[in-house]
Amino acid sequence: MARKSVSMTKLALTGNEAVAEAFRQVNPDVAAVYPITPQTELMHKFSEYVYDGKVETELIAVESEHSAMSAAVGAAAGGVRAITATSANGLALMWEVLYIASGLRLPIVMAVVNRALSGPLNIHCDHSDAMGARDSGWIQIYSENSQEAYDNALQAFRIAEHSGVLLPTMITMDGFIISHTTEVLEILDDAAAREFVGEYKPMYTLLNPEQPVTMGPLDLQDYYFEHKRQQVEGMYNAPAVIEQVAQEYAALTGRKYGFIEAYRMEDAETAVVVMGSAAGTTKDVVDTLRERGIKVGMVKLRVFRPFPHEQLAEALSHLKSVAVLDRCISFGAQGGPVYMETRSAMYGKEIPIYSYIYGLGGRDLIPSLVESAYNDLFEGTPDPKMRYLGLRE
């Protein structure tokens, strides 16, 4: 691990506070905010920084999430660094504007505190909100704990604003499980964080009278298709940037981030693929099973968009079987969204892959449930259809 080159402070923060801390250090120009559980605390904390004069951010308290994303789009089109944060139905209400942000190539950074979508009404964690936005042209980075949420928040600006990428980026954390759990984490000192993130220099701005531009014009059969292809190119360019930014961050902090995290995979015979806080639980289960001499591993996906298909396929290619845990259902599909992406990445490899749905609406994923998935892989024949962890029949 790289040697740390800057001083860091250990703090006990919730996930929400950790990301608010990162946003404070970044000192963005505009924050468009609207409260929704479990995100509320994040922007509540950030608004304290605004009113205490600790940042110079223009905080706009808007009347809905649709307006929050619209205000962020306007600010970003004006050439400044814009942030927002939301959860669940708030993200759903942003829907059409998510596509405008990515389509106009505005590098907005948004924290998504994952929560189940209503109805019936539920305020607890699952990934249905962010997964629903997976085709909206946003980069998606998932966090296992508060430390990762903080680290990902700082890196997100560099990734989104890179001239070869210019795509809005959402960083996520599991609602309540991470957002409201106090953990000890390491925070960069302010100067180092600001130097790492750097100054934002927009390629174009609507507010430069010396160079007037037109943004968001009518774009019909003649050019719309070409502009969508350009967005694909941004996604193609993103991996190299994500990697470069992670390397610089590792040199600064000693904390290394990849597209995936392989845990005890070297000699593993089977593995579970997970995202978010479930990775922590799964690592514990892997350790327990390893103590019994069972060769299991885990792969955590950090980046979901762009999907790291090559890295994932390489990590899984030596296994006998794989279980993919999704905290989201794609109704009518063959499995959860992560499962389908994983199967697609593994196309042509004769390795059985099974879909497990868990944790919807905040249902706990206790270690014995993860263990039962591993047991299926080793002992039984997993049901070819979707299976459920922690569901009452």
Partner 1 sequence: MSELKGWKDIPIGGLIPHGGTAFDYETGSWRSFRPVHDRDKCIDCLDCWFCCPDNAIIAEDQKFKGFDMMHCKGCGICAKVCPPKVGAITMKPESEFEE
Chain residues binding partner 1 by CB under 8 A are 103-106, 166, 204, 211-219, 222-224, 226-227, 229-230, 233-234
Residue number, 1 or 218, with CB nearest to partner 1: 218
Q: Are 311 and 380 in contact (CB under 8 A)?
A: no
Shortest reach from residue 74's CB to partner 1, in Å? 15
Amino acid making up residue 101: A
CB of 210 to partner 1, least distance (A): 11
**Positive/negative CA dihedral, 373, 375, 377, 380:** negative
Q: Which H/E stretch holds residue 358? A: strand 353-358
Is 243 buried (19+), middle (13-18) or exposed (0-12) by CB count in 10 A? middle
Nearest approach in angstroms of CB 79 to partner 1 is: 12
Question: By three-state DSSP, how is residue 60 classified?
Answer: strand
C-beta separation of 319 from 269 below 8 A: yes
Question: Of 228 and 320, which has the nearer Cβ to partner 1?
Answer: 228
Shortest Å, Cβ 337 to partner 1? 27
SS3 305: strand
Overall residue count recorded for the chain in this entry: 393
**Pick 72 or 338: Cβ nearer partner 1:** 72
Rg (CA), the chain: 21
Shortest distance, CB of residue 55 to partner 1, whole angstroms? Answer: 28
Please, which residue, 5 or 224, has the CB nearer to partner 1?
224
Judged by CB, which is closer to partner 1: 107, or 239?
A: 107
Shortest spacing between CB 102 and partner 1, in angstroms: 9
Nearer to partner 1, 53 or 209 (CB): 209
Are 353 and 302 in contact by the 8 Å Cβ rule? The answer is no
Containing H/E element for 2? none
What's the sign of the alpha-carbon dihedral 60, 64, 68, 70?
Answer: negative
